[in-house]
Amino acid sequence: MTLKIGTIGTGNIVEHFLDAVESCEGVELGIVYSRSGEKAAEFAAKRGAAGSCCSLEELVSSPLADCIYIASPNCCHFEQARMALEAGKHVIVEKPAVSNLEEWNILERTADEHGVFLVEAVRHAYDPAMEAIRNALPKLGTVRRASLRYCQYSSRYDNFRRGIVENAFKPELSNGALMDIGVYCVRMMAELFGEPEGLMAHGLFLESGADGAGLVLGLYPGMEAELSYSKIATGKIGCEIQGEDGTMVFSGVSRPGKVEICYRSGERETVFEEDNGWNLEYEILQAARWIAAGDVQAADYRRALGMSALEMKILDEARRQIGIVFPADGKR
């Protein structure tokens, strides 16, 4: 049976997501939503959707959608996802899934109550490179440090420097460097090493009140994970995980690319390699498999929910230390 997707949002990430949908057998676009009916119709025609609407109620009740993909501003994710789940729709929601852990816990309970699936679209978590990295960690011996970096000058920062503040730099929308880019580093740390015993965080604030860059240090027994992220400068150094017997290096967190181990002996081993394109197809295919199987208690699905909860817990604590506060905090 074909999984029909309904979308919320018409931005670049939705375009990339739908490009990936086209490569996924058994998944197709059914209906698109935008606050503007005209824009929704134009986008539907462009992407070949059977329907369009400017009403969320119509979207979540439409037979043209089994699953709703949410790529609206971060602050909107919670209410839109809850509405879809309560209507019996599965949900794939862009990272960060919500503004805080409290919101995530509510969505998880709502999904369970209605017997539907809730998937955070944090693409590297489903990339086979992540599993390759996890499986290769024992080759490094005792791991002592992980340096995970995602520093990318935002395409919207030029406008910011000219005095034009777009959504990406509006904290009232639950946006900023930690939530938009740092989340990739946080999720990889959680996936590979679990919950840290301690956390230290610092951020750089911009004139809009949004954080533009920052650092998070995760403290583990015998090792530390340093996370570096930025939307106001571009990094040229990839990531590495240092062990006593070797160091693993890879291009970045959102798409690891080539994963290589450099042993103390001087030997080098490539453990995984992928192209430089977008890797959104993996999250779509995994969501489709879960939905087709219909088992909301499946171990790998429950693990993914737990990872998203841990991700939000770490983000909440990092925000507390940095001093990032969103209107959504304490509302539920």
Contacts 24+ apart (CB under 8 A), 163-167: 165/208, 167/73
Helix ranges (H only) for 6-165 are 12-22, 37-47, 56-61, 77-86, 101-114, 128-136, 157-161
DSSP letter for 2, please.
P
Indicate the helix (H) or strand (E) that contains 227.
strand 223-230
* pLDDT given at position 276: 73
By the 10 Å C-beta count (0-12 exposed, 13-18 middle, 19+ buried), 208 is classed as middle
User: And the tokens for 17?
Assistant: 């997501």
* Other CB atoms within 10 A of residue 259 CB: 22
User: And the tokens for 156?
Assistant: 């919207």
> Above 90 in pLDDT, residue 61?
yes
DSSP letter for 126, please.
T
Q: Could you give the count of Cα atoms lying within 13 Å of 54 in the half-sphere of its Cβ? A: 8
DSSP letter for 28, please.
E
Mean pLDDT, residues 141-155: 97
pLDDT-derived band at 123 (thresholds 50, 70, 90) equals: very high
- pLDDT tens-digit profile of 196-229? 999 999 999 999 999 999 999 999 999 999 999 9
- pLDDT tens-digit profile of 25-43? 999 999 999 999 999 999 9
| Segments making up each domain of the chain, as ranges | 3-116+280-322, 125-272
Contact 137, 216 (CB under 8 A): no
Assess whether the previous peptide bond of 96 is cis (omega < 30° from 0): yes
> Above 90 in pLDDT, residue 52?
yes
Mean pLDDT, residues 265-283: 92
* pLDDT given at position 229: 98
Mean pLDDT, residues 87-109: 98
* Domain 125-272 of CATH type 3.20.20.70: no
Phi and psi at 215, nearest 5°, equal -135, 140
Instruction: Report the helix count and the strand count for the chain, using DSSP H and E.
Output: 11, 14
- In angstroms, the CA 221 to CA 49 distance is 51
> Above 90 in pLDDT, residue 332?
no
Amino acid present at 139 = K
- In angstroms, the CA 21 to CA 25 distance is 8
- pLDDT tens-digit profile of 161-190? 999 999 999 999 999 999 999 999 999 999
pLDDT-derived band at 275 (thresholds 50, 70, 90) equals: confident
Q: Any idea which fold 3-116+280-322 has?
A: Rossmann fold (3.40.50)
- In angstroms, the CA 221 to CA 48 distance is 52
- In angstroms, the CA 248 to CA 34 distance is 43
Three-state SS for 67? strand
* pLDDT given at position 119: 98
pLDDT-derived band at 277 (thresholds 50, 70, 90) equals: confident
**Could you tell me what percent of the chain has a pLDDT over 70?**
100
The whole-model pTM stands at 0.96
**Average pLDDT of the chain, as a whole number:** 96
